[in-house]
Amino acid sequence: MTDRVDEIIQNALREGRSALLEPEAKRICNEYQIRTPASRLVSSSSEAVKAAKSLGFPVVLKIVSPDIPHKTEAKCVILNLRNGTEVKRSFSEIIDNARHHATNATIRGILVEKMLAPGTEVIVGSLREPGLGQAVMFGLGGVFVEVFEDVSFRLAPLREHDARSMIREIKGYEILKGHRKQEPADEESLVKIILSVSRLVRDHAEISEMDLNPTVVYRKGAIVADARMSLGR
Q: In CATH, what class is 38-115?
A: alpha beta
Q: Name residue 24's amino acid.
A: E
Q: DSSP E strands: which ranges in 143-187?
A: 151-155
98, amino acid identity? A
pTM of structure:
0.94
Tens-place pLDDT, residues 21-74:
999 999 999 999 999 999 999 999 999 999 999 999 999 999 999 999 999 999
| Homologous superfamily of the 120-231 domain (CATH) | ATP-grasp fold, B domain (3.30.470.20)
CB atoms within 10 A of CB 68: 19
pLDDT digits (tens, 9 = 90+) for 127-167: 998 888 999 999 988 666 665 678 999 999 999 999 999 99
pLDDT at residue 87, as a whole number: 98
- The torsion angles phi and psi of 20, rounded to 5 degrees, stand at -85, 150
Tell me 181's DSSP state.
Answer: T
Query: Cα–Cα distance between 34 and 192 in angstroms, integer?
Result: 8
Q: Do domains 38-115 and 120-231 have the same CATH topology?
A: no
Q: What residue spans define the domains of the chain?
A: 38-115, 120-231
**Cβ proximity of 226 and 22 under 8 Å:** yes
* Pairwise CA distance, residues 162 & 179, whole Å: 24
Of residues 144 and 82, more confidence is placed in 82
Mean pLDDT for all residues in the chain: 94
Handedness of CA 99, 207, 138, 61 (dihedral sign): positive
